[in-house]
Amino acid sequence: MRFTLLATLVGLAVGAFAQSSSADAYVAFESPIAKVGVLANIGPSGSKSQGAKASASNSAGIVVASPSTSNPNYLYTWTRDTSLVFKALIDQFTSGEDTTLRGLIDSFTSSQAILQQVSNPSGTVSTGGLGEPKFNIDETAFTDAWGRPQRDGPALRSTAIISYANWLLDNSNTTYVTQTLWPIIKLDLDYVANNWNQSTFDLWEEVNSSSFFTTAVQHRALREGATFATRIGQTSVVAGYTTQADNLLCFLQSYWNPIAGYITANTGGGRSGKDANTVLTSIHTFDPAAGCDAATFQPCSDKALSNLKVYVDSFRSIYTINSGIAANAAVATGRYPEDSYQGGNPWYLTTLSVAEQLYDALIVWDTLGSINVTATSLSFFQQFSSGIAAGTFPSTSATYTTLTSAIKDFADGFVAMNAQYTPSNGGLSEQYSRSTGAPVSAVDLTWSYAATLTAFHARSGKTYAGWGAAGLTVPAVCSTSGSGTGSGGATVAVTFNVQATTVFGENIYLTGSVDALENWSPDNALLLSAANYPVWSITVNLPASTSVEYKYIRKNNGAVTWESDPNNSITTPASGSATETDTWR
């Protein structure tokens, strides 16, 4: 059933009234439902936190991803989901929006302290276990096969707990912070500092490479961690965290695809790289004080806006429910256009993430008093003013008014899209069908409800504490050391472009004479992106001032074909970056 109750409430069919009116009505209706939906999935007293199993038992502060127990079974607790959910609740509490949440937040921190110590297939607390993505809801290890490790969890958890700890410090509760919370936070931050340059499964648990989302939230966590450690006098860790944060910021730039104008979400996976991962990054590393900073991909930065357009447009023609929608209007969006999980459908949370990024951008433009249109973001703004040129438009100008009004309506359109496909009881599953809009996959997904709350808060103009993104400078030389001490040789970002035509199912890979190129291993060779086919591309951090040999290889259904001799070679510069342009031999 479509969202007919809202239509009844306003006396009109959902599709018949303006996007802003639809969004207003949906916010009023869905806000309390989403809040109840989040709390219902948190143990031990949440009404749905034990799922359908009468014997299930979960501890205080444990977030159940969904009460669904089959097709799919989500009756588990994920570190990532839990941290994002509680970051939203902690923001509500510390801002004074909901002062009843403190006990629940304390239960969350206690449960995470327990989970950190649970030995699991990823290791123990000291040997990699913090990278384990999910646990049983009784706080025991999940031991079946899974995509592990996932290195975003510790970063997101430390960010959530630091937000709470800063409020406690502001309210004179220093002892609890230093004796109880700091040990939890430090374990996570040390894990990030020591492992950020290791491969990880992405937030969709499918691709094992490097992930833009993971890199960005790790960068945020170490910046916040260094500031927080300084505040409580734990200065011995600050230099290490700051050094690795600089390295992460440097590495973060390598995901940007300047030719196609979007962020390549993962360094592996064989897909286009157009992915909600990147939009979720923008909203979960939003710092209101950082303006439209492009180095940290703030929501209103030219790179984030260009990326948003490419991401949204990739879904316009692949979902039946998007048919007939204007090219500059909102559509339903999913994880990535090649997705096939549960049929490959729009997700409530990914569609709302687009709206939230736009709302965040509007907040910052209002604060700055202007919009800056660059060559990079021009195509985004041309959706709303076809004749616009690059330049800065003050808030007193007609152009500024035209753009902000149109972008607000555009953002509301994504909210209205979810409203159209929300059941009459307001329940939010994980997905809705690409062909009919009917709810699909796990019911009552906690992350769907939490994403609804944060998008609605952004729509109302609310912001929360920043994390130090303002005024950062990208280092000229990157290091890939994960020791936390800044040791290890300098590296430079080298982009490899090779023109190669392929047949269906065939991909191009890169390997070579150094560790970063997998030491001539065809099995571990690096997959190149075909986003600009027939040019295949990848950016790799290589040792600076070093002679490196390399070759491209083709893989097709297990068959490996090497490029002909001789080896390609490059001597990397001492700093900066380099680009190699080749043709398959």
Q: Which residues are catalytic?
A: 202, 205
Euclidean distance between CA atoms 28 and 128, whole angstroms: 44
Bridge partners (DSSP) of residue 262 are: 257
Backbone angles phi, psi at 156, to 5 degrees: -65, -40
Bridge partners (DSSP) of residue 211 are: 266
H, E, C per residue of 425-448 = CCCCCCEECCCCCCEECCCCCHHH
Contact 537, 489 (CB under 8 A): no
Angle at 30 between CA 26 and CA 34, to 5 degrees: 150
- With both helix axes pointing from N to C terminus, report the angle between 348-368 and 302-313 in degrees, rounded to the nearest 10: 150
- With both helix axes pointing from N to C terminus, report the angle between 79-94 and 19-40 in degrees, rounded to the nearest 10: 110
Closest C-alpha to 80, from 284, 356, 222: 284
Tokens at residue 10, please? 């306003």
Half-sphere CA count of 269, side-chain side, radius 13 A: 27
Cα–Cα distance list, 409 to 287, 350, 387 (Å): 23, 18, 19
Listed in sequence order, the residues at least 6 apart from 149 whose beta carbon sits closer than 8 Å to its beta carbon are 122, 128, 131, 132, 133, 200, 201
Euclidean distance between CA atoms 405 and 381, whole angstroms: 12
Euclidean distance between CA atoms 328 and 3, whole angstroms: 24
Was 196 annotated as part of a binding site? no
Tokens at residue 580, please? 């190699």
Closest C-alpha to 333, from 307, 360, 359, 296: 307
The count of residues in the chain is: 585
**Alpha helices by DSSP H, 117-262:** 153-170, 174-176, 182-195, 212-231, 238-252
Euclidean distance between CA atoms 485 and 454, whole angstroms: 36
DSSP string, 453-512: HHHHHHHTT------S-TT----SSEE---SSS--S-EEEEEEEEEE----TTEEEEEEE
Give the annotated binding-site residues: 146
Give the annotated binding-site residues for substrate: 146
